[in-house]
Chains A and B, each alone.
Chain A
Amino acid sequence: MPSIGHVFKTLIDSSGLFFDAMLITLQLTIVSIIFGIIIGLFFALLKISNISILGYISDTYVYLIRGTPLIVQIFILYFGISGIFLIPDFWAAAFALAFHNGAYIAEIFRGTIQAVDRGQMEAGRSLGMTKSLTMRRIILPQAFRRSLPPLGNQFIIGLKDSSLAAFISMNELFNVATTLGSNNFDEMTYLIIVAFYYLVLVALLTWLVNSFERKLAISDR
């Protein structure tokens, strides 16, 4: 094992390189989670639509994504799409991650939407609100609050999963760490450093989600 002093010195020296990589990791994570939420919400709404064909479509999507490894999905999207038309590596990785996260987020939303008391929909309808208006104004805001803890968890998973984009040569954290490690014949040092970066990012994300949750909770109490 490298000494603590050596790791610390390397951490300082390589901070410039890692900083850029961290930005790419963050961009990948944020983009894939924003699109993942949109995709997830879309498929969750299909699932609860009471139209069986739409429910099957949603089920199939979730099954395909959850039933295959993320790295396979990334490769299929990357090689598959770039075979048809040119798509920047970043977007190939981001979309693969978004579709992956989307399946898990769809399940989160489906659960929390269904957990909202049936009386809420009835109250909305009895006031003359349409189903979609009640969904938008009454059900989804409540479901979204309850989704925050599991969503926060999914964000953390998504952040770490973005390391797989290294395999389609995105210069994100993990890729930079392995490259620097092998160039300097010092793999372990750089792996420890990259672990440190992930831990910092996860701590940051956790803090963000928690403070957002607290902010929403104030209005409930």
Chain B
Amino acid sequence: MPEKEMIKTVGLNKSFGDLHVLKDIDMTVCESDVVCLIGSSGSGKSTLLRCLNFLEKKNSGSIFLRGKEIELKNVDVNTVRQKVGMVFQHFNLFPHMTVLENVMEAPIHVKKIPKAQAAKEAKELLRKVGLGDKMHVFPSKLSGGQKQRVAIARALAMKPEIMLFDEPTSALDPELVGEVLSTMKELALEGMTMVVVTHEMGFAREVADWIVYMDEGRIIEKARPEDFFQNPKEERTKEFLKTTELK
């Protein structure tokens, strides 16, 4: 059965002033795939993810969601964003709202879902990420790992078709990384399409369907994890893997 395309970029370019950050990015993510995006600092991973969500405006190229090109002129970007969930390195929870309110906010105010139903769904999601007992506390009371799981629940509350993660565990104490990764793993097993920027090679090896390696704004290599880690094709990939193993 041919896999169905979820999100695709064709010839995507992005510059910040004179700095050419993304160079002709062609990337396809199929339904239910988990793609781990890796590469050294400054290679453009975050920028690529943010372009997929239109937090950054591309300079040229096309982005397709389920085969339909997203032209900002014709499509309401807010509608697109509802289908594309995003989890940030620094969580970005809303500090003036309780955990439950954080998760209910967008369904109520964007999707106009009745409050009772939004609360019911939010509670289910929070239980699912293991935070059923923290619904009524404020984010400042949570550990980093708990905050990130709330952020995941908050994104899931919009019932996205694809989830983007930008280094979701980089800001966490080492002992809290596992709980977030296992939440993400669970999500992957449920068939969620995911693009994950990460330095967690163990996670990439175990959970990813594809590894995409970026360097200096280009995709250097896209491979299955076993191929990528055992027999990388590109010279630059080999170099990169050497440096990460030293860590």
Task: Spell out A's residues near B (CB within 8 Å).
Answer: 117, 119-120, 122-123, 125-130, 133, 137-138, 141-142, 145, 219-221
Contacts and interface: CB of A to CB of B under 8 A. Distances in A.
Contact of A129 (B92, B110, B140): B110
A122 B95 contact: no
Contacts of B79: 128
A145 B85 CA distance: 29
A133 B111 CA distance: 13
Given A129-B110, A138-B94, A221-B140, 13 more contacts: A117-B92, A119-B92, A126-B53, A126-B55, A126-B155, A128-B78, A128-B79, A133-B109, A137-B109, A138-B105, A145-B96, A219-B96, A221-B141
B110 A133 contact: yes
A140 to B, nearest CB: 10
10 contacts: A123-B86, A123-B92, A128-B106, A128-B111, A128-B158, A129-B105, A129-B109, A130-B78, A133-B110, A142-B96
B203 interface: no
Contact of A125 (B81, B90, B155): B81
B154 interface: yes
Given A219-B96, A221-B140, A128 B81 contact: yes
Nearest to B89: A119
B138 interface: yes
B229 interface: no
Given A119-B88, A119-B92, A137-B105, A126 B140 contact: no
Given A130-B78, A219-B138, A220-B140, A122 B92 contact: yes
Interface in B37-91: 53, 55, 78-79, 81-82, 84-86, 88, 90
Interface residues of B, number: 27
Given A126-B55, A127-B81, A128-B82, A221 B92 contact: no
Contact of A120 (B81, B84, B92): B92
A221 B139 CA distance: 9
Contact of B110 (A122, A127, A145, A219): A127
Contacts of B86: 123, 126
B78 A126 contact: no
A220 B82 CA distance: 28
- 10 nearest A-B residue pairs (beta carbon): A128-B82, A123-B92, A127-B106, A126-B86, A119-B92, A128-B81, A128-B110, A128-B78, A141-B96, A142-B96
B106 A129 contact: yes
Contacts of A141: 96
A119 B89 CA distance: 10
A125 B96 CA distance: 17
A123 B93 CA distance: 8
Nearest to A117: B92
Contacts of B106: 127-129
A122 B55 contact: yes
B94 A129 contact: no
B154 A127 contact: yes
A132 to B, nearest CB: 11
Contact of A123 (B84, B94, B141): B94
Contacts of A126: 53, 55, 81, 84-86, 88, 155
